[in-house]
Amino acid sequence: MSEAPKNTSSRREFLKNSSRLAAGASVLAGTAIPHVYAADENTIKIALVGCGGRGTGAAANALSTTSGPIKLVAMADVFDDRLNTSYKSLKKSFGDKVDVPEDQKFIGFDGYEKAISCLGPGDVVLLVTPPAFRWVQFGYAIEKGINVFMEKPLTVDGPSTRKMFELGKKSVEKNLKVGVGLMCRHSIARQELHDRIKAGEIGDLLELRAYRMAGPTGSAATGPKPEKMSELLYQISRFHGFLWASGGGFSDFLIHNIDESCWMKDAWPVMADGSGGRNYRGDNVDQNFDSYSVEYTFADGTKMFLRGRTIPGCRQKFASFAHGTKGLAVISTSAHHPAKSRIYKGYNETKENLLWEYPQPEPNPYQVEWDDLINAIRQDKPYNEVKRGAEASLVTSMGRMAAHTGQVVTYDEMLNCEQEFAPDVDKLTMDSPAPVLARADGSYPIPLPGILKRREY
């Protein structure tokens, strides 16, 4: 296992000063900053904690940055097959940029500590495990002085959000650079649309609409546990199906539409009123609803309407919109990229009414967010997305809880809610019981709106 550099202050200054030689270079994807770094001293090392599909994708984006040398040196997961598959994929694509010896591949719940120990100041750990583990692993990275990229959502309930806010403050105090996987904020098209909305091009903002209506997504629809698999590892392997692990499909998927819409308003809603239900479920035993509808209210009374659905065979829609007194803004059209942001006069999306559209192709925001983070590290610029990421996660949980309880839930009520889905998540081992246990028929507790009014299950 490699040790952290002993002369850490010199290394940080070298990163900072050598980056200044590249002043004026763009941070956009595909634009290389001149290679002016010493290969050994200026290589940014990364460690991947959570080697599933999203983690592997995030590592690929990190290794695709062009502002200087970067190398993957450690990996951790609780599933050795996922780690090995991820390693082989990344090694095939990036060759010598992937330099992970066998003794720096860690399996187990303490793997994140071992992976982070392979890094030093100026390096980055990728936290891409199920969201329940986010505050635990982030806290350790802060303790060790390591920069962080962590996937959304950052939190799944009130107690974990309160912890994340405090951890965010500590990371700012230590000048750590922290990126959060709400990559739509790094979309160049959405950024220009935001500026145009702020400049009054659609008039006063009246209403927001957001949709993520698709078939079964991720592991949100989950069948019975295999007989020979532990309860805990089964739930982690199908984490979208369990509220403690991910906030369910609602938090893990709808957060993007919620976040990009609130960005256009430059505000977070103060209240949510929602509904939802389970339909024909077959043998699925997870905790999710199949459809959600939430009315969010901002402090000025403006509404945002959110619709989510994961039922096969239904019409699909994946988009967000902002209505103003002068016209309509399309925030995103279909999935996350390309956004194809545009503005219409009036509210009909016709060619005759089109006033502006972002030209194609667009830089991929999954890559741009990494270009931005790595450049901030090399240039030692302030860069910390924790507070905003925690707020987006909390607002998402607020809508989820409103639908799951059948009650109006305010921002403050969600923040101060005492139901902690996994209070001992930091103590889990391979032999631990799962935070939620199956009932006699193999199914799991589900939300009961109107019956359970102050808890989600």
- State whether 153 and 233 are in the same domain: no
Note the pLDDT of residue 11: 42
CA 181, CA 373: separation in Å to the nearest integer?
A: 11
- Residue 2, pLDDT above cutoff 70: no
> Tokens standing for 12?
């940080």
- Residue 158, pLDDT above cutoff 60: yes
CA 2, CA 421: separation in Å to the nearest integer?
A: 36
- Residue 174, pLDDT above cutoff 80: yes
Task: Please check whether residue 400 lies inside any domain of the structure.
Answer: yes
pTM: 0.90
- State whether 175 and 199 are in the same domain: no
Q: Report yes or no: 370 and 179 within 8 Å, Cβ to Cβ.
A: yes
| CATH of residue 41 | 3.40.50.720
Task: Please check whether residue 286 lies inside any domain of the structure.
Answer: yes
- State whether 321 and 376 are in the same domain: no
Coil vs helix vs strand at 96: helix
- State whether 263 and 154 are in the same domain: no
Task: Please check whether residue 438 lies inside any domain of the structure.
Answer: no
- Mean pLDDT for all residues in the chain: 92
Instruction: Tell me what the mean pLDDT of segment 94-104 comes to.
Output: 98
Note the pLDDT of residue 335: 87
- State whether 311 and 336 are in the same domain: yes
Instruction: Tell me what the mean pLDDT of segment 421-439 comes to.
Output: 96
> Does 216 or 258 have the greater pLDDT score?
258
Note the pLDDT of residue 410: 98
- Please, which residues have CB within 8 angstroms of residue 53's CB and are 6 or more apart in sequence? none
> Does 88 or 16 have the greater pLDDT score?
88
| CATH of residue 316 | 3.30.360.10
Instruction: Tell me what the mean pLDDT of segment 85-96 comes to.
Output: 98
Share of the chain above pLDDT 70, in %: 91
Task: Please check whether residue 435 lies inside any domain of the structure.
Answer: no
Coil vs helix vs strand at 417: coil
Tell me: the pLDDT tens digits for 184-212? 999 999 999 999 999 999 999 999 999 99
Q: Report yes or no: 293 and 306 within 8 Å, Cβ to Cβ.
A: yes
- State whether 208 and 143 are in the same domain: no
CA distances in angstroms from 72 to 6, 36, 124, 152, listed in the order given:
20, 20, 10, 21
Task: Please check whether residue 288 lies inside any domain of the structure.
Answer: yes
- Please, which residues have CB within 8 angstroms of residue 98's CB and are 6 or more apart in sequence? 63, 71, 72, 87, 90, 91
What residues make up the domain containing 216? 187-359+393-427
Task: Please check whether residue 241 lies inside any domain of the structure.
Answer: yes
Which of 260, 276, 279 has its CA nearest to residue 268? 260
- State whether 131 and 208 are in the same domain: no
Total domains in the fold of the chain: 2
- State whether 84 and 216 are in the same domain: no
CA 305, CA 354: separation in Å to the nearest integer?
A: 24
Q: Counting runs of H as helices and runs of E as strands, what totals does the chain give?
A: 13, 15
- State whether 267 and 378 are in the same domain: no
- State whether 237 and 105 are in the same domain: no
Within 10 angstroms of residue 335's Cβ, the number of other Cβ atoms is 12
Beta bridge partners of 58: none
Note the pLDDT of residue 31: 34
> Is residue 27 very low, low, confident or very high in pLDDT (cuts 50, 70, 90)?
very low
- State whether 371 and 398 are in the same domain: no
Note the pLDDT of residue 171: 98
> Tokens standing for 191?
């950024």
Task: Please check whether residue 119 lies inside any domain of the structure.
Answer: yes
CA 453, CA 404: separation in Å to the nearest integer?
A: 8
Q: Which helix (H) or strand (E) holds 272?
A: strand 271-277
Task: Please check whether residue 445 lies inside any domain of the structure.
Answer: no
- State whether 400 and 270 are in the same domain: yes
Note the pLDDT of residue 280: 83
Tell me: the pLDDT tens digits for 55-73? 999 999 999 999 999 999 9
> Is residue 260 very low, low, confident or very high in pLDDT (cuts 50, 70, 90)?
very high
- Residue 283, pLDDT above cutoff 50: yes
> Is residue 282 very low, low, confident or very high in pLDDT (cuts 50, 70, 90)?
confident
CA 259, CA 257: separation in Å to the nearest integer?
A: 5
